[in-house]
Amino acid sequence: MAERVPPSPPRRYRLSLPRGRELELVAGRPLLLGVVNITPDSFSDGGRYLPPEAAVAHGLRLLAEGADALDLGAESTRPGGGVYGDGARPVTPGEERRRLLPVLAALRERTEVPLSVDTRHGEVARDALAAGADLVNDVSALGDPVMAEVVAAAGCPLVLMHARGELATMQREIRFHDVVAEVRAELAERVDFAVARGIRRTQLLVDPGIGFGKTAAQNVELIARLDDLAALGQPVLLGASRKSFVGTLTGAAVDERLPGSLAAALWGARRGAAILRIHDVAATRQALRLWSELAAAGGRAA
């Protein structure tokens, strides 16, 4: 009988946060990033948490359920085309700040967990970091030149998400020959772009952009082969929770997509995700706990 080769240890990452703190990430043992949408038109819960007190209460509830960090977004980035219709309405940086900053300040007073700000606008990121945010989640991957200046100056972590084209039309203009290879190459280019503008490579995370300019089949392929993206050497954030591809494949409405979202989360963890951006924290944490116990028991029995 051949001797069983022990698995390689998971890759670890140490990211520097503002105010002298650190964030440790482990590929395959994902941090749970709870979503707080402070918007009237997000696809999953549009309007429910637009009032500041409702958003703060929701964030605290996600932390009580076991979220390791929170992602606060005050502009819906729902793309246009396909099942999304016309997409979300863009908002001005001023309106985005008006929604975001009171919630961010209130949560910062109540918790020390990392707080991410989901924004495309460098000036919004600057004010959010000054108000206590720890990292920036940029769906435009430095589409705003000011963002690179802000992040480089702050020295904070930055998530670079893959997307092609404009939010308003990207679901109508889907063209890939090999979606995994092309997304990987384009994310690698954005990482190099960020480094060239003064952002440390060790502070950069990548996100395949599930649901942003991809078909349902392409989203599935990206999740199935997430380890190909992890091979870039950057921590991978996976945001598949409640996305439209789950509905396309199963027929489930937005509020009925938890089972499909859990399947994507578990597979993403298996393929090396370091962060899962999720809406349903308690269910995801329970599923991951059991999955990890089963995986460990399976390894001992092999």
3 state SS of 135: strand
| 172 is a domain residue | yes
When pLDDT is cut at 50, 70 and 90, the band that residue 94 belongs to is very high
Residue 17 in any domain: the answer is: no
* CA nearest to 176, candidates 188, 205, 83, 184: 184
What pLDDT does residue 81 have? 46
Tell me which residue of 31, 113, 23 sits closest to 72, measured CA to CA: 113
Alpha-carbon gap, residue 272 to 226, rounded angstroms: 7
Check: CB of residue 71 under 8 Å from CB of residue 36. yes
User: Which tokens hold the place of 260?
Assistant: 């499909």
More confident residue, 146 or 172: 146
For the segment 195-213, the average pLDDT, to the nearest whole number, is 97
Say which amino acid occupies 174: I
Separation CA 149–CA 126 (nearest Å): 9
Is 5 inside a domain boundary? no
Query: DSSP state, 26?
Result: E
Going by pLDDT thresholds of 50, 70 and 90, the confidence category of residue 281 is very high
CATH code: domain of residue 164: 3.20.20.20
The domain of 67 spans 30-295
Among all residues, which ones are annotated catalytic? 243, 277
Residue 79 pLDDT level (bands cut at 50, 70, 90): low
> Residue 288 domain-assigned?
yes
Average pLDDT over residues 2-12: 71
Q: pLDDT value at position 1?
A: 43
> What's the structural domain count of the chain?
1
Specify if 302 maps to a domain. Answer: no
To the nearest whole number, what is the mean pLDDT of the chain? 92
Nearest to 68 by CA among 285, 293, 235, 286: 285
Query: Does residue 184 form part of some domain?
Result: yes
Among 124, 127, 166, 176, smallest CA distance to 143 is for: 166
pLDDT at 38 over 60: yes
Residue 19 domain flag:
no
Asked whether residue 42 carries a pLDDT value surpassing 80, the answer given is: no
In sequence order, the β-bridge partners of residue 207 are 161
> Would you state the pLDDT for residue 302?
46
**pLDDT tens per residue across span 14-27:** 999 999 999 999 99
pLDDT of 84 strictly over 90: no
Could you report the per-residue pLDDT of 109-126, keeping only the tens digit for each? 999 999 999 999 999 999
Q: In angstroms, rounded to a whole number, what is the distance separating the alpha carbons of residues 216 and 239?
A: 14
Residue whose token pair is 């605290």: 60
Residue 20 is assigned to a structural domain of this protein? no
CA 122 to chain centre: 18
Q: Using only C-alpha atoms, what is the Rg of the chain?
A: 18
pLDDT of res. 300 = 60
